[in-house]
Each structure stands twice: as C-alpha cells, then as structure tokens.
Structure 1
Amino acid sequence: MLEPTQGEDGIYRIERVRHRRFNGTYTRTSAQGFTRDECLDEWGTAFERKRHEGSARRKTQRHRFKDTDPMSLAFKRFFELTQKRVDAGKITQKTHDLYWAATFRSEGPRADPDAIRLDSEMGELSIAEAGQPVFLSEYLEDVAEIVGGIAEHQYIVLKGTFSMLTRAGLFRFSPMAEVLKPERGEPDPCALRPEERDQLYCQICARTARTPWIEMLYMLILGTGIRPGEAYWLQWSDIPGLDDPTVKKAVLRVGGTVVKPRLNGGAFRQNKRKSSRRGHAYYVTLPEWLTTKLRAYKNKQAPKSQDEPILTSSGGGMLRPTTGEAGLRRAKEDSSVDWVTWGNLRDTVATHITGRTGDARRASAQLGHMQGASMVTGHYLDPNGYVHPVVDNTDVLEELDPAKVGAMLESTGSRS
C-alpha cells in the first residue's frame, strides 16, 4: 500500500518504488504532488508507462475478474470474445446470435417476457455463487424440462464462459467439466399425407399466383428435401444441366444458406450450410418433373446471369427468410393445413424415401446429413470436369410430383 510522504516544503512524494515490467525486468518509479491524491495519481500513471517499457503488451489491460464480480460481466466478456471468433471466420454470425438469444432478453413489442435467459436467471449472482457444479447441473436440468433447445444453447454459453474464467485464474478446473450436457430428444418428423400435399399445392397456386416463387420454393423443397435457407441461397449456376434440353434429370449443388441475423442487419448469403464444414457442399439428382419445372421457370425468368438467385422477390432481389415465411402463411391461412411449415416438406421427403426404400441412410444422404455421406448412388461431372458423388433417389421422388393430384402414393410413416 503506497503512502506518500509530505516533505518540509509541503510537497508529497513517493520515492523510487521498485517493481517489475511485463517483460520481467525491474525498474523504479517515483512521483510527487501538492496533495496526497495528486501524488498517487502521478505515480499510477508513471507506473503504467514504465511497466510497459520493452514489452508489446497492450497499454489498456483487460478487466481482471474477481470471484465477487457478477455473472453479467462474465457473459458480456464471453460474447466480446465470441464476436471476435465470428470476425475471424471461426464460427458464423448465426451461431453467435443463437447463443446471444439464449443469454439476453430481446427488446421490442414481440419480445417474450417469460423467455428463460441466462442473464436474467443468474446475471446478478457472483461468479463464485454461480460457479458450483451442483447449482449449474440443477439449473440446466430444470430448463431442459421446460425447453430443451434453450438448455442446450445455455450449456454451451456456460461452458465457454467458465472456461474463460478458469483461464483467468478463478478456478483450478472449470465447474462445467462435471456438468452433463442436457439431452434433447429429436422431434418426430411430421410428414404431409398425399391429400395434404395436394391441398397445400392447390392453395399455393390459387392464392399466390402473383408471386410464382412460392410455388417454385414448394417444388424445390418437395423434390429435394433441402432446407428453405438453402433454397434461397441457390443460383442458376448451381443447376447447369438446365441449359441442356436433353438432360432429363439435372443435378443440383447445395453449398450454402441464407441467414437472417437475430440481432441487427439484413439477410445475407452464407457459403456454408447449416451443420457442415466451411465449403462443404453436396449434390443431388433432381426428379424429372422438377427438372422440367425449373427449366420452364428459368426460361420465363430469363436471368441475365447464371449468378442470379433462382428465387427472387418482387423487387428482383434475393429472397429473404421472412418473405418466404410470409408467402407460405398467406397460402395456408384459414385452412386445415395451417399447421404446415416449410420444414414439414423436408420431413415429407425423408419419410417418403425411408418408407419406399427401407433405408434411412438414403434419406439422410438426400437431406445432406454427414451420417448419410457414405451413400454414394452415383457420380456427377461438373462443368469444370471435377467428379462429385451425387445422391440419386429420383426413382421414389418422382412419386411426389405435385401435378399428379390424386395419384401420389401413401408415404410410409406419415403424420397420423
């Protein structure tokens, strides 16, 4: 504890206090002032300057966490580090936003006041109070019983936050090392029955005639099983076979998704699919009916470039996720299929392929899951001459042609 000494001249002084620099060498720092506080302030400024001499360490030091600090401060620092990982391309902005949404309450009229958020639940607790394995385990078990998905995201945030605090010296071992990850049962697929597919398709045609992209989006998902975001991402260059009228079954490259951040900013194309390695794409063979529909759609749209999106809004720009959801909502409202989401069409494809082939791996490969990657059913030579494995379930996907109203086969395991 420094204590300035007042001399006979009334000046307060601190004489040559020895201390280490960041590089391990030693120096001495002195200070003086007309008052005690002035002297201490001058010494503190000189101390900071001298201990950085000969070192590349940053002038402004990071906050040194104490176990009495609130968890809200730790969460804030964790997300500063997470944003740096986004900026470095190590994780996507969407992943950051999912974790952020599980931690902090959203603002605005649509915000759910009863949402379970980490900062609300333990932000006011001290790091020492929250950093008990038994407390963390019981908390996550309670949340998992209410909403498993949130518990899973909060587990990841807590694990990262306490790993950060352990590196900061507050714990010898992270308290999360003993906490089990919440188990979340996978939701049962909810496939559409043939009559439900017929009804939804008829409503799309009747109610959204002025926005033909809705019908095309319906067909793209029903004929391939891709995610809506992956469909928004597609450009005409991803289906080069459409330009050759002799090609009856074109091959589609799926290599990214369109993302709408949960925080700020507009939707953007991300050249990385959900749950896949950066740059990982997969190829699927389109059934003949979908190839024909896409070829006719392309001729009508007359794109000026192969790099234009397949699905465009009325303004000619890339289709956004919110626009796609609004289009489906308009087509299904006030009907017996008002429960349907675009994801149910993806479930329909998986259920149909599994039921008709008896092989769940073929359905997994169709959806682009890594566990089905070994199901190579063919090879595709792209315009560059590169050979790619391609998934081909067209023998059963032909049966999902929406034009065959009343003639579609019952999908095994469809919604009861």
Structure 2
Amino acid sequence: MPRQRMAPGEHGRITESVSGGKYFATTYVRDSDGRRRRVERSSDKSAEDARRILQRHLSARRAPLDSQQVNDKTTLSELFERWIEAKVKRGEIKPQTENQYRRVWAKHGEKQLGALRILELDTPRADTHIQAVAAATPAQAAYLRLVLREMYALAVRFGVLAINPIAGTETAKRNRKPVRAVSAEEFAAVRSAVAAYTGSRDGKGGPRPGRLLPAFVEVLAATGARPGEILALRWSDVDLLADPPTVTISGTLLDHGAAGPLHRQEARKHDAPAHTVTLPRFGVEALTELIGESGMEGPVFATRDGGWVSLANLRRCLREALPEELSWVTPHSFRRTVGTVVRRELGPAAAQQQLSHAELSTTERHYVQRQTVGPDVRAALDKFAGQESGDRK
C-alpha cells in the first residue's frame, strides 16, 4: 500500500542524530504552498532537548515568504510604507489623510517601533505603547492604533501571521469636550472684536490685518459650512439674485503638506455630493461687500493676486482679534453654532440637513450643543398624579 501523502502543515517522523558533540532533530514539513522542506534544530544538551526545540519551532512555523513583498523579515517601517502606498494607489485615502497618517507614524511609530520585525510586536507590547501615547494625546493614539491595525491586517493577508495582534489592544479613549455654540451675545462680541482688529491699521498705510476676516466669520455663521469649504467657494457657486439667494458647496481648500501647495479639492469631505444652502440676509450682505474685494471671477475669498486664501492665516487672525474670554472660539465653532440654532428653532432633522450630515447621530453628538432645559410637561405629570390642571398654581 503506497504511503499516504502529508497534508499541508503536517510533518513527518522526527529523526535524531549526533555530530561534533551536538544533538540534531530533523524532519520534513509539507508547507501551505505544497512544497516539502527539511527542518532541523540542534541542542548542546541532549537529543531529547533538540526534539523539544524542533517541536516548539514546528508549532509556530509558517511557510517561507521570502519572495513576497511582506514577509516575516519585514520591519514595521517597511510595512507602513507598503501599506500606505497601497492605500494611495487604490484611491482609498485623500492626500490630506495620507499626510495625517504619515505625521502620526513619524511622531509615534517610526522611532519607537519601526525597527521591529512584524512578528516581534505582540499585543501586550503594542497596547502598552498605544496607551502611553494616549496618556498625552488621546486623539493621536486613536490614529496610531488605526494605522497599526490596518498595517497588520495587510500582514495577515500576506500570511505572515494568522491573527492581527492590534485587534486585542484597548481602544484609545478620547475625552471629547462638550459641544459649545456661540450665543447671540457672544456673536455680537466676536463681530465687534473682529471689526476693531481689521480697522486697527486704517490710515497707517500697508495692508489691513485680516481684511477678509469679517466676511469669513459672517459667511461661516450664515451657512454652517466647514471653514475649508467656505474658502473653496467660487463666485460661480454663489447666486445672490436667486429667490432665495444660495451658495453651493462643492469642494474644499487643502493647505500645504503632503497634499501639495494650497489648492481647491474638487470634492467635499467623504466625497459627499454638492450641498446648496440658502443665505440669510447678513450672509448676502457680507458676500455683496466681497464683490468689491475680488470682483465676480475666481475665488470668493481671494488674495490680492486673485489666489486662494490660507485657512491657517485666517485662524491666526481670529486668535489675535478675540479677547481672552472668547479665545475658545475657532472657525469651526460657527458650524456648531448654526447646528444648535437650527435645531433649537426648527428641530434636529433641519439641523442635519443644514450641515449635510449623512446621519442624524453625527449632528446630535458632535455639532449641537446639548439642551439643558426640559420642556413644559406640567400637564402630563399633573394628570399622572391625579391633579386637575385647574388646581395647578
């Protein structure tokens, strides 16, 4: 009867030998690629010790992967590059996301983990490092865990290991601050501070600091759009003569970094479709005044040369303009403010539509200030308690 062929992953009989004072244990393994390979381990103590060493090796052994792009000799630095290059090639991430991942890896991964080979980073060690980063910067730790998890998912697909060790790490907890919207009184104070700031050099020669800042604040508060989307507006996106007047948000402005020079990206966040919003009167007035600054061609918010305006510059101007008690206000604060105002007056569904969120939960959790005043439910509670409404004082 012919000898039965070994199944992939099985090994044959272990033989023992002695040579030059060393003990050897040898067998043949049929690997997952179907090929039969000789495997040997040695010991200076005894043949039985050599056998135990070989058996331990066989229990963890995987087929050689030397010809693959990712194998058991690949370092984490090499794995990161192959992972992110594949993501970019497949069009799964935008340049700004690539830039963000590279910054996180350079700061929290390259020096600390980069020289390790894939099999040398286990779950306990990975979790210890992620939690150490989380103690200082929770948001960065969350990104680092995401990067490592996807890197190791690539290693699993190449068969270097069977289980993703990052899956067992604890999620880095982010302490989210409560959503804070700008009140009507605070908005009046912001307007006043911005006007004083931009007028601080009138009559002194030279360009006014933050000359576009007042209009930028007004349009942010008039639309609830993201700051980068407002700065990406073109006059072709604006219709002030329509009834009602509108602006259509169809792109976003990308600043310097891996994304390249300051330029307009012809897509919104998450490739969301173009979003048209109606303009309140103060938004129309702000945009009408801007016509004198940039004309009716090209960017709505334009430099003196007709180019795009950097969000970083306007952020800096807003910080300089605001007094200490309003230092918490950022360009993104106005998106939360619009969401809160619309939700309060028209309900959560209207707020979701205004901010163009795919899910209502996103609007409620991240962009609307939590209500802390309950509704008038006296009639319902009096009825429950058996008290007539006329007896209520």
TM over 0.5: yes
- The yes-or-no answer on 1:256 pairing with 2:251 is yes
- The yes-or-no answer on 1:84 pairing with 2:94 is no
* Residue in structure 1 matching 2:295, options 289, 297, 303: 303
* Residue in structure 1 matching 2:336, options 347, 355, 365: 347
Kept in 1, the 8 Å contact 2:299–2:306? The answer is no
Output the amino acid matched with 1:90: E
Cα offset, 1:355, TM superposition: 2.9
Write the deviation string for residues 226-268 of structure 1: whole angstroms up to 9, x where unpaired. 111010111111122x145xx3x31221122111143473211
Equivalent-residue separation in structure 2 for 1:221 and 1:138 (angstroms): 42
- In structure 2, relative to structure 1, the CA distance for the partners of 1:304 and 1:339 (3 Å cut) is closer
- In structure 2, relative to structure 1, the CA distance for the partners of 1:355 and 1:264 (3 Å cut) is closer
Equivalent-residue separation in structure 1 for 2:81 and 2:186 (angstroms): 47
Q: TM-score, normalised by structure 1?
A: 0.63
Aligned-partner SS, 1:258: strand
Cα offset, 1:125, TM superposition: 2.6
Instruction: Mark the runs of 5 or more structure 1 residues left unpaired by the alignment.
Output: 1-60, 106-116, 376-410
- The yes-or-no answer on 1:362 pairing with 2:350 is yes
Q: Equivalent residue for 1:337?
A: 326
- The yes-or-no answer on 1:271 pairing with 2:271 is no
State percent identity of aligned pairs: 25
- In structure 2, relative to structure 1, the CA distance for the partners of 1:413 and 1:238 (3 Å cut) is farther
- In structure 2, relative to structure 1, the CA distance for the partners of 1:93 and 1:63 (3 Å cut) is same
Aligned-partner SS, 1:284: strand
Q: Equivalent residue for 2:279?
A: 286
- In structure 2, relative to structure 1, the CA distance for the partners of 1:64 and 1:272 (3 Å cut) is closer
- In structure 2, relative to structure 1, the CA distance for the partners of 1:304 and 1:345 (3 Å cut) is closer
RMSD of aligned C-alpha atoms? 3.0
Kept in 1, the 8 Å contact 2:225–2:355? The answer is yes
Output the amino acid matched with 2:350: R
Aligned-partner SS, 1:156: helix
Cα offset, 1:183, TM superposition: 4.8
Aligned-partner SS, 2:325: coil
Equivalent-residue separation in structure 1 for 2:263 and 2:162 (angstroms): 42
Write the deviation string for residues 141-186 of structure 1: whole angstroms up to 9, x where unpaired. 4434443321221122112211222233311233344456545454
Equivalent-residue separation in structure 2 for 1:121 and 1:251 (angstroms): 51
Cα offset, 1:304, TM superposition: 4.8
Cα offset, 1:62, TM superposition: 7.4
Kept in 1, the 8 Å contact 2:198–2:211? The answer is yes
Query: Does 1 or 2 have the higher relative contact order (CA < 8 Å, sep 6+)?
Result: 1
Instruction: Mark the runs of 5 or more structure 2 residues left unpaired by the alignment.
Output: 1-65, 200-207, 364-369, 374-393
* Residue in structure 2 matching 1:94, options 93, 96, 116: 96
- In structure 2, relative to structure 1, the CA distance for the partners of 1:257 and 1:371 (3 Å cut) is same
Equivalent-residue separation in structure 1 for 2:256 and 2:294 (angstroms): 31
Equivalent-residue separation in structure 2 for 1:352 and 1:337 (angstroms): 19
- In structure 2, relative to structure 1, the CA distance for the partners of 1:205 and 1:173 (3 Å cut) is same
- In structure 2, relative to structure 1, the CA distance for the partners of 1:362 and 1:69 (3 Å cut) is same
Cα offset, 1:119, TM superposition: 1.8
Q: TM-score, normalised by structure 2?
A: 0.66
Equivalent-residue separation in structure 1 for 2:212 and 2:371 (angstroms): 29
Q: How many residues align?
A: 293
